[in-house]
Amino acid sequence: MTLKDFLFLKWSRDWEKNRLESLIENYIETFQPNVLFVREPCHLDGRFFDRFREKCVIAGFIACNTVHPLNWNPHRHDLLFTLTKEYADFFKVQGIETHILDYGVDERISGEVANLPKIYDCTFVGYLGTATQSQKTKLMDTVARSIDFKWWGVKGSELPKFPALQRSWQGETAGIDMLRIYKESRIVLNDYVDMAAGLNVNMRTKEVMNVGSMLLTRRATNIEALESEGALVTFGDAEECLAKIRHYLGREAEREAIAAKGLQVALREFNYRDISAKLMGILESKVKECGRSWN
């Protein structure tokens, strides 16, 4: 890259950053919200939000590795939301009001995909082929070498080391198209990012349950109740994973009963109606605690 190319690229990035910040700033000044809710990583410099602290409650939601957000500082927030007890305890020790708020599901989705046929045996949608996704990548590669497996998602730089995954890749997908794939799958496979410390903290779990397909995921202490209720199936290693894939592919009635239970539990336990009510209650209390009106 020449110096001219470098300077042009830097100018382009700075221009885009300033344009985005200006747009958000104008929105905030126009609508004067009580709360700024920042979902990390939001790809904005964390210092951008400092200018609004006198006017708004700054609430943050973080469930990712904290190296992703830019200039992120937990003390910038009036309160934080996260997914795991470990994160919550860490922030509380620092004197930051912190709440565990789980991912949820939209009750309308199951109806939108209800009549789609099963056309895939076993699928996965997600990011593979990076250092932080090594456990997940190795598992999916083992599955891809053994059964009819298809996956969609972003290919990391290490994916060329896994030719079976290269062959089974179907492209990228998101939104309702991703949820249709889940519904069209007999089994949807799931695993966790390496730094999740063996906990189930991804949205995929709820999304698969919400469309009424069977989820097969790595065993984790925080989903033992879901497994006990028969809402999903777990595995401990690649060998057990493959054994359970073959077992449930050959037992449609058993598999679909688990899928139906997963949908029932998702709508009962993880619906956005209840989660939103809890969230809004916490935010309202914080706004009033700061001496501002809630409207």
pTM of the shown model: 0.83
pLDDT value at 251 more than 60: yes
**Do 276 and 201 sit in the same domain of this protein?**
no
Check which CATH number belongs to the domain holding 99 and give it.
3.40.50
What is the domain count for the chain? 2
**Do 135 and 100 sit in the same domain of this protein?**
no
Residue 73 lies in domain: 32-104+272-289
How confident is the model over 163-188, as pLDDT tens digits? 999 999 999 999 999 999 999 999 99
- The stretches of the chain forming alpha helices (DSSP H) are 3-31, 85-93, 107-112, 134-144, 163-168, 175-183, 203-211, 224-228, 238-249, 252-269, 272-289
Domain membership flag for residue 217: yes
How confident is the model over 142-162, as pLDDT tens digits? 999 999 999 999 999 999 999
List Cβ neighbours of 239 (8 Å cut-off, separation of 6 or more): none
**Do 254 and 155 sit in the same domain of this protein?**
yes
Nearest-angstrom CA–CA distance, 199 and 158:
24
Nearest-angstrom CA–CA distance, 36 and 180:
32
Q: What integer best gives the mean pLDDT of the chain?
A: 91
For residue 97, give the DSSP letter.
Answer: E
How confident is the model over 74-132, as pLDDT tens digits? 999 999 999 888 889 999 999 999 999 888 899 999 999 999 999 999 999 999 999 88
Report the pLDDT value the prediction gives residue 190, as an integer from 0 to 100. 97
For residue 162, give the DSSP letter.
Answer: -
Domain membership flag for residue 91: yes
**Do 240 and 144 sit in the same domain of this protein?**
yes
